[in-house]
Amino acid sequence: MDAILSVRELTEHVRRAIEGRLPYVWVQGEVTNLSRPASGHVYFSLKEDDCLLNCVWFRRQQKQENFDPLTGEVWDDGPRPSLALSMENGQTLICSGRLTVYGARGQYQLVVDTAQSAGQGLWYQEFEALKRRLAAEGLFDAAHKRPLPREPRRVAVVTAPSGAAIRDFIRISEERGLSAEIRLYPTPVQGDDAPPAIAEALRQAGRDAWAQVIVLIRGGGSVQDLWAFNDEAVARAVYASPIPVLTGIGHEIDHSIADFAADASAATPSHTAQMLWQERTVFAQRVDGMELALTQSMERRLRLLSQFLAHQRQALGLLSPQERLRLHRERLNALVRRMDTALAGALEQKVRLVERFSAALSSLPGGLERREARLEALALRLNGAGEARLARAAGDIERAALPLPVLGRSLGTVQEHALSRLELRLHSGDPDLPLRRGYAMVRDSSGGFLRSVSGIAAGMRIAVALSDGRLLATVDAVIPSPEEGERP
């Protein structure tokens, strides 16, 4: 062949060569990289050791079968659904079809016509055997799972330093939460060297005792790519970690032994960051809610104190010396007005009497001087009597007013003592006072107060209220007080 071939021409030559030499084949292998897109076609690979054969099973070929395509046995119970609907990764299949070349990728593939299950592959069997053995040892028990810290400030990440997983994790961590320090423990995440390296990185992170949580992540890939996380040494290193471990391996459909042994697992590496840190808008909403609650609480407290102060002021006003002085002053003014009215009437009556006497005397000769002298004497006596009466009334008023200041001070002292006692009772009822003396209030996860260890069990989440904040804790052990007779 002397001519220079184009890529399309070379691909066509290869396709004709393959299809001519192998027009129809039967192939056995272990299913991996299974994918079912919305088109209804099924894409997968058949694996044997390090060899892969890409396969496509078009929807039109996925037919119900009335017989076993391998043995030719006819089934008495009628047609059975196509295996394309139920095949799984790790399952060993015997597939028949034609080999062809997919030009868009330059790969040869098997276009499947029929398929028959030949049992589960060795990798899947190893996976299930290890899973059952570690589960029997308790590595997957829920009782061993530890809660993840909320909004951690120090995070150890075990992954490949150049992978997309660590870039996505750092990007999301910068977008969420209130910032955190991330320390990378670089390690390969696929291949034969990956399992011991991953296990050692986990152990090193535990020995450093720096992080609040360890994140073990790896991006998506085939079953072979993710197989390092199904290693027993990795699973035991995850289980033995003194720090809680969060895994995010592959995609949502991928599940590894490390996921089962971890304290928590995420669907993807990005999801691990979402599980550790909340969106910042959540914090803003929480602050707004707390500010609103605080404002409402202060307004309610101020309103109650204002009502209490108004009641106390009203009660104090009714008993105050000033109020009693005001009442006595009003009574005194009324008496003075009555006295002035009575005195004016008496004077007017005396004036009229004097006028009559003057008229009578003026008609009598010789006796007018004597009458005038007598009238002057009577006028002097009348004026003296009025002044004396006014003086006595003023003296009575002064004597009545003398005890009022003493009485006012006494009543004020009594009210001050009563107000002090009320303030003392109000202060002693302050629920925050014991907290400032070193005591604490403990609530369970439902918000109820804990008054006895009988209602607490190890592992329970509790909230401890102190004078300057709250603590969220987990009960490690419950130690009841010894009975009276058992005390030394």
Three-class DSSP category at 179: coil
CA 195 to centroid of chain Cα atoms: 37
- Decide yes or no: CATH 3.40.50.261 for domain 140-278: yes
What is the per-residue pLDDT across 47-90, written as a single tens digit (0 to 9) for each?
988 788 999 999 888 887 766 665 555 555 667 778 888 888 88
What kind and span of H or E run contains 96?
strand 91-102
| Local confidence band at 487 (pLDDT 50, 70, 90 cut-offs) | very low
| Local confidence band at 268 (pLDDT 50, 70, 90 cut-offs) | confident
What kind and span of H or E run contains 392?
helix 368-401
**Tokens describing residue 166:** 């660590």
Residue type, 134: L
Burial tier of 65 (Cβ tally within 10 Å: 0-12, 13-18, 19+): middle
Q: What is the DSSP string of 305-354?
A: HHHHHHHHHHHHHHH-HHHHHHHHHHHHHHHHHHHHHHHHHHHHHHHHHH
Mean pLDDT of the chain: 82
First CA to last CA across the chain, in angstroms? 104
CA distance 8 to 35: 28
CA distance 47 to 121: 9
What is the per-residue pLDDT across 354-411, written as a single tens digit (0 to 9) for each?
788 777 766 655 555 666 677 677 778 777 776 777 777 777 777 766 666 666 667 6
CA distance 488 to 479: 17
Three-class DSSP category at 21: helix
Three-class DSSP category at 193: coil
- 481 against 61, higher pLDDT: 61
Of 483, 476, 482, 480, whose CA–CA distance to 461 is shortest? 476
Q: Going edge to edge, which strands form the sheet with 469-474?
A: 441-443, 461-466, 469-474
CA distance 484 to 487: 6
What is the per-residue pLDDT across 306-341, written as a single tens digit (0 to 9) for each?
898 888 887 777 777 777 787 788 888 888 888 888
pLDDT at 416 over 90: no
CA distance 245 to 452: 33
Instruction: Tell me the percentage of the chain whose pLDDT exceeds 70.
Output: 86
pLDDT at 485 over 50: no
The pTM of the full predicted model, rounded to 2 decimals, is: 0.44
What is the per-residue pLDDT across 191-240, written as a single tens digit (0 to 9) for each?
889 999 999 999 999 999 999 999 999 988 777 778 899 999 999 999 99
CA 357 to centroid of chain Cα atoms: 106
Q: What is the pLDDT of residue 486?
A: 46
pLDDT at 304 over 50: yes
CA distance 320 to 331: 17
Strand-strand pairing, 181-186 and 154-159: parallel
Q: What is the pLDDT of residue 81?
A: 79
| Local confidence band at 259 (pLDDT 50, 70, 90 cut-offs) | very high
Q: What is the pLDDT of residue 314?
A: 78
Q: What helix, strand, coil percent values describe the chain, rounded to 5? A: 50, 20, 30
- The residue to which tokens 């192939």 are assigned: 27
Architecture of domain 7-120: Beta Barrel (2.40)
Q: What is the pLDDT of residue 421?
A: 76
